[in-house]
Structure formats: structure tokens, C-alpha cells
Structure 1
């Protein structure tokens, strides 16, 4: 089973790859210069990508990795948005883990005189992606992560008033971060299941840096990925193969751009599917 794990920054990526122990991850280049860090786990191969901060960077990086894998003939079985994030008290204590039941674009929409209108109500798409219940339960049982909504925001919450506004609009929210919805949008476009797993480094609200527990959250992320591999292998139903019209050709420029990455990914991917 092959899992794409997308983080925002290198520190989060390193916390995930540390789950494999002292062995250095294999590095695989993607088109555009991004690098996958590949590690083995029990029943799972993780390809970990630090895609950048925010939903746009997350969507672009995820789409690049998913497309490269699909062109190699070995699509991913699951895409995971992972990292640290803010927690809504009291359900998400510092250093704790949250697994998303819903991945929500909390500030994608329009401000009106009557309040915020999400993009769904504007008729321009979706503002949330549900996560498979069986997958959420399996991850929660393996890691102790609390299930709830994880909000994706483009501007991190910095006031008590905004925290209260978000909590009122999303009573099931346990955490906020900046990338999950971007990963979910790219995964949905490829027909790949999605998951979001967050370790809580700070409380959502006023930015009290002295109270942040980033080290504890990164350590919790490592322990989560040490524990979760077998649960993913049992819970994930592999995504259906992407449908490509018969005779559809790949544009030569696009083919050249991914040729090296495809060759790098193909052999390890095939070994993973045989395992």
C-alpha cells in the first residue's frame, strides 16, 4: 500500500519520516523540483512531501505527486494532510492528536452584511470533504486521535473573537490548519481517499507564543505515524483506477516533464503492490 503524506514545512516532513527510525529516507524528485521522501512502515510505504504553506501550495504539490504516480501506472491508495495545528479547547489539548471527520474550507466564500457565506451557498463548489468513517475510526483507535472537523484557513486565527466565530459556525471543529482542504481537493480530483491528521501545538485564538508546544506536537506526529501504518493497511479501500479515454495521448511536453520521475517511482511502487 502506498500513501502520499503532504506536510507544509520540512520540520513536519522530518517528524513523519522519523517514524521509520534512524534510516535516511529515499529521495525522489518530482517535476518542478519538489522532492518526495520515501520511508517504509508496517504494510505501508509513505512518500512524504513538504509542499509549502497554505491551501494553494498544498493543492499544487499534492496534484503534482498524484499525477506523477498515476502516469507511472501506480496511483496512491491514500493522500494524507499531516502536520501541527491549532486546537479548539477543550476537545483538543496541547500535544494531542486530531483526525478529521470533515476537512473544511472555513474562510472560502463571501463576506456579506448578514455574515459569512461559504462557497457552497454561493453555488461555486464545495467547502468540505468528508473522510471515510471506517478510516477515521481506525486511525483514532491506533493513535488516540480525537475525531472532529479540521478547518483550513488562509489566515491563522489570532483573536478570541475570531476563534469564537469559527467555533460557532463549526461546532464539531477540533483544530485549524492551512493545508488540508488543498490536499483534499487534489485527492478528490484523482479519486483518491483523503485523511487529515494533526498534532496540536497551540490553542486557536490569541497568539501566545510562550504557550506553544511545537516540539511536543512534532513528537506526537512521529509517534502517530509509527502506530498508524497497520490501521491504514486494513482500513483503506484502494481508490478505483482513474479512467482515461481510449487512445488519449499525453502531450509530448508533459510526457518529457514527468519521464524521470515516472521511472524513479515505477519500480518501488510495483514492489509495494506485490508485497
Structure 2
């Protein structure tokens, strides 16, 4: 199995790579650098830092998927991965979340009656649903909770916004900025998608002193150490 793992930034990429290896670096069009697993690795996890936000993530993912398809060596699975905010108390600091739904939380329109997702405007999509069997296997292997992961273009920084998102998406466990973009690119190529997040901070008012980025990156490494076993099960 060939797996493409897409993170936002290099620190997340390096945390994923720390779970496996060795890796070679391969230049892709657009200035992307793919960390490519050794050919003997099973499953082979290639890792790409695709950029911050859904648009950058979609572009990086599409570039890597297209390059693999043109080389007649396509990927079997795409995983959006990294750290993110957790909705307390369901997703505490340092915990792992596997998405059973990858939802674009702010893709739509504000109206006098509240927010309308783009689907209610008559076009587009706002959610991707990874394979439930795969979600359960990965969650069990990594000790993760399974639930909705929201993709936002603006990170939540207030109690009011937190309450609004929680009310609109009662199953939400975490928020990040890339999952929906990765999922859109994967869907365009007909490749299954998964999202794995480790929690570095609570969704809500920004309190940098309370963030635990190092712990979340270590949890990300541990989660990807468990991933091969779940994929081979």
C-alpha cells in the first residue's frame, strides 16, 4: 500500500517521518519536496508539507497525486495529518483524533437567520466521510477518539465562536485548517482519505501559554508509529 501523508508545516512532517523511515527527498513541481519512503517499506508512507490552509493543502496534495499518477505508481490512501485544536472536554491536550467526518466549517454564507453551508445554497460539498472500518481500525491502534474534524480558514479564538461551532457541529472533536482541502484533492483523484489530528490547544480564546505543541507533535509520531499495523490489519 502506498500512502501520501500531507501536513501543513515542516515540524508536523518531521514528526510523522520520525515514526518511520528512512526517507529520500524528491522534488515535485511547484517547489514541493516529498519525503519518500524506502521502496521496501510496507506500507510505504510518503510525507509532504503542503502548506497552511485548505487551498494550499489542496494544491500540494493534488500536485503529489498527479505526479504519482503520471509515474504509474498511484497512491492508495491520502492522510491529512498534524496538530490542531480540541473541543474540551472530549479532546484534551495531547489526545489523538481520527476524523469520521472532514467538514468545511465556514464554507457557505452568513445570512440574517444564521450561517448557511454551501450545500444549502445549491452547490458544492462541505463534508467527506472516510471509510468507517478504516477509521475504527486506526482509532483503536492509536488510542484515538473518532469524531468530526472541522476545517476552518480562520482559527477559532473566542468563546462565542467556539460555542457557535459546537452547536452547529455537535460531533466535532477538533479543528484544523487543511483536512477539507486534502480531502477535496483526494476525491478528485478517486483516492480514499483519512485525517489524524493530535491536540495542541483547546478550541477557544487563544492562550499560548497553555499550548502543548511539543506534546502534540510527540503524540503525532506515536500515532503514525501505530498506523502501519492498522493499515495491514
Instruction: Compute the displacement of 1:33 (Å).
Output: 1.4
Q: Which residue of structure 2 lines up, in the alignment, with residue 58 of structure 1?
A: 57
Q: Which residue of structure 2 lines up, in the alignment, with residue 82 of structure 1?
A: 81
Instruction: Compute the displacement of 1:32 (Å).
Output: 1.4
| SS state at 2:19 partner | helix
Measured in 2, the distance between the counterparts of 1:196 and 1:154 equals 17
Q: Which residue of structure 1 lines up, in the alignment, with residue 169 of structure 2?
A: 170
RMSD (Å) for aligned C-alpha atoms = 1.1
Q: Which residue of structure 2 lines up, in the alignment, with residue 16 of structure 1?
A: 16
Measured in 2, the distance between the counterparts of 1:7 and 1:123 equals 31
Q: Which residue of structure 1 lines up, in the alignment, with residue 5 of structure 2?
A: 5
Instruction: Compute the displacement of 1:211 (Å).
Output: 0.4
Whether the aligned pair in 2 keeps the contact of 1:42 and 1:229 (CA below 8 Å) is: no
Whether the aligned pair in 2 keeps the contact of 1:44 and 1:230 (CA below 8 Å) is: no
| SS state at 1:46 partner | strand
Q: Which residue of structure 1 lines up, in the alignment, with residue 199 of structure 2?
A: 200
Q: Unmatched 5+ residue regions in structure 2?
A: none
Q: Which residue of structure 2 lines up, in the alignment, with residue 116 of structure 1?
A: 115
Whether the aligned pair in 2 keeps the contact of 1:43 and 1:230 (CA below 8 Å) is: no
Instruction: Compute the displacement of 1:189 (Å).
Output: 0.5
Measured in 2, the distance between the counterparts of 1:162 and 1:90 equals 16
Measured in 1, the distance between the counterparts of 2:44 and 2:163 equals 39
Measured in 1, the distance between the counterparts of 2:217 and 2:37 equals 17
Instruction: Compute the displacement of 1:38 (Å).
Output: 1.8
Q: Which residue of structure 2 lines up, in the alignment, with residue 250 of structure 1?
A: none
1:12-68 Cα distance to aligned partner (Å, 9 max, x none): 0000000026x4x21011111101002359621111000100000000000000011
Paired residues for 1:189-268 under 5 Å: 189-234=188-233
Measured in 2, the distance between the counterparts of 1:34 and 1:131 equals 26
Instruction: Compute the displacement of 1:233 (Å).
Output: 2.9
Measured in 2, the distance between the counterparts of 1:120 and 1:200 equals 29
Measured in 1, the distance between the counterparts of 2:91 and 2:149 equals 11
Measured in 1, the distance between the counterparts of 2:42 and 2:177 equals 29
Given the alignment of the two structures, is residue 29 of structure 1 paired with residue 27 of structure 2, yes or no?
yes
Q: Which residue of structure 2 lines up, in the alignment, with residue 103 of structure 1?
A: 102
Instruction: Compute the displacement of 1:232 (Å).
Output: 1.5
Measured in 1, the distance between the counterparts of 2:52 and 2:150 equals 15
- Calculate the TM-score normalised by the size of structure 2: 0.97
| SS state at 2:31 partner | coil
Q: Which residue of structure 2 lines up, in the alignment, with residue 48 of structure 1?
A: 47
Measured in 2, the distance between the counterparts of 1:39 and 1:211 equals 35
Residue 233 to residue 42, structure 1, CA distance change in 2 (3 Å): farther
